[in-house]
Structure 1
Amino acid sequence: MDNMIQVYIHPTYKTCQSILNRSSEKISHLTDLVLSIINNVKNNGDTAVKTYTRKYDHVDIKHIQVTEEDFQKANMKVSSHLRKSIEIAYKNIECFHKKQIHEESKIEVSTGVFCWRKSVPIEKVGFYIPGGSAPLLSTVLMLGVPGKLAGCKNIVLCSPPNKNGEIHPSVLYTAKYVGINQIYKVGGVQAIAAMAYGTESIPSVYKIFGPGNCYVTIAKQIVSQKGIVSIDMPAGPSEVVIMADDEANPKYVASDLLSQSEHDPESYILLVTINNKSWIEKVKEELKKQFYHLSKKKILLKIFRKSKIVVFSSLEECMNFINQVAPEHLIINCNNVSYWSEKVINAGSVFLGNYSPVSIGDYASGTNHVLPTYGYAKSYSGVSVDSFVKKITFQKISKKGLQNLSECVNVLSSEEGLIAHKKSIDIRLKNEFHE
């Protein structure tokens, strides 16, 4: 761990730009491979899915869909402690997301002109639940709870099988607990392609949700660009940025850096501070101590070769830089944390103070952990109930309302040279009719 984390003191503009860039060099080289898998699944359905499952997950799958027997087996393997924890997390996530549901009222924007919006659930949605480095049962909750609250009728869930051809029991138990029954033993690009185009076993959906590695992220972007489905957001490897001054406890800072590092070898880890060399050394010492008590040492070592500590002269500079990073997770751990929280413009989810680690939001505080990465927090939000609905607008205009707006619309449509627009109003006003 010695000298693994690079430290940049008062970095130049050029250095800052290089730190901001976390796009993987290999991503552009992966597009052709991802596209070939998508096309194969599109053309050959289940046969292609099973071939890729054999190739990448090293298992032959006879029946892609999870059966009632699979659910029962999983049920027996889940401990009472885990069940209780799932229940607590579920309740908190449900509580937070329920408050996002608002019924909108009809608005009379001018005399006789009534407009309103209606939230309509997306009928068919697909969830991708990674299973490579860890069985992400928490993501089942984060997608399943708002999806069910929104009223989505058909929810399809895909997750890669292990070498025994099974999805992890905790994932299956959680899915069943939330009320998801259509589950398929398929991962990676092939899962995204199957949900986009449909196969003999896996139904197609209208929108795909869920995080994944760079292959999955590229696959989601490709199918959305083709107009086949929409996606929640480009959600790739985990990211955490910590903004710290001397209020921050080095032990806590180190633990937060490590906790987000164990997700994925491509995780993006950054500590932004105004602190001096001695405080930074304390963080490094803590990293070393805590590292040796963790199991995923290979992943952690790979990540810490790319991780960075950036030192600025003021918290204003720190915050300006962080807003350019637009991190998935942001921890603000400094004096006057409320003031600095108001300065956040670009971030997926924000954690304030010494006692708000990212892990609490990852599982059970109630906020959603499916969040934008790669700087997409500049324009994307994390998953919410709104992610699962479409907003359809309605209007009902009386004859008086039409008369009142006719001159305005006629002038505007004439300016655009759209005379039929004007005539569609004139014909109604010349014609006597009853509403």
Structure 2
Amino acid sequence: MRHIAIIGSGPAGYYSAEAAQKKFGDEVAVDIIDRLPVPFGLIRSGVAPDHQSIKAVSLRYEKTNLGHNVRFLGNVTVGKDVTIAELQKLYDAVVLATGAPDDRLLEIPGSYLPGVVGSAAFVGWYNGHPDYRHLDPPLDARSVAIIGNGNVALDVARILAKTENEFTGSDIVGHALDRLKQSNVEKITFLGRRGPHQIAMTPKELGELGHLERARPVVDSQDFPDELDDALLEPGMRKSVTHLRNFQIITPEAQQKPIEIIFDFFAMPVEVQGDGKVEKLIVERTALDKYMRSHGTGERYALDCQMVISCIGYRTPPIEGVPYEHGRGRFANSDGRILPGLYCVGWARRGPSGTIGTNRPDSFAIIEVVAEDIGAGGRFEGRAGLDRLLQSRDVDVVTFRDWKKIEAAETTRARAGSPREKFTDIAEMIAARKS
């Protein structure tokens, strides 16, 4: 019997468990360990609450967990309740699938000012992540600057701009919806170092901006290259650029919408300024070299704003005793191997790149590496040893059956038109399991 521990219950973790089931059949026991009492990681707390079709992938993960040889152990913190070294003594393979939940730091002067918020914190706040339940974003701001030209930036802008009616069917948490209903935001500005042909926004998500009830996108026609150059783009990027070109057309109906979502291309934030809080963002114009890399031109201007949301990427938090690449924000590895018996997968392996689906082939590949290394297994005690260790430390483990009780309670307490109202406090989650 092979014993595999997977740290993290997001997409990379569950795809790795699925891969192990398919690779080894009944000759494997997989334990998925997570510090939260609830599973699914990014699907629960990262995917936008108004994108329920994407969240539905959790049904596939649930099917994996219902197999007899896969367990979920929630409310277990690696590094506190059990160490990596201890897990390595119990399992043939330990796979780190912790994702990249921390914000990449905005390293410019003034980034410490109140009103500067990282996207991990802001997204976690409106998605009900326990770590960010007490975040108090300054939604009395009339102007918000969003640094970044990717899908996370799009999610943030869309959430800020939507009406209460547009959240019907979503699982945005109540405390965030109540605050957003009182928002004063009138202008949202995307800042990107490069131009329309270099954005990382995908067509479907970008197209949603054109259908908001009270907000309209604004693009400067002078930022575009010759339209003939669009033909050189790959199809998905070409569709995104087409959306941007269409945003130049302002219909009379759009003109009446009170919120502007402005695309400010070739713009590099260099300093946040304000007296005790965010009041303006100093921006430098950029230009592209022949390799499409951006560089500052020296031309600067001030953007008045009262909140800055940094959507510039994520990083994996280090774990004591695990080699780490600080420059890349991921675990040091070679094709997923970190140390003998220790592996990483997904964003923890390659950094924050790709979609949810990208994690599936990555996870199947790492299980092939594991299979090559551990052979038939049988040298380690596995889950029996972990159970004994956690019991000796009085760790209150939350099982998948417990999670289903938490989920049922969230469904019961949902507001009209919403699939659930998430618990945002760990103690409340655990209490719901026992009810």
TM-score (norm 1): 0.28
Larger radius of gyration: 1
**Between structures 1 and 2, the one with greater helix share:** 1
TM-score (norm 2): 0.28
> Which has the higher relative contact order, 1 or 2, with Cα contacts under 8 A spaced 6 or more apart?
2
**Between structures 1 and 2, the one with greater strand share:** 2
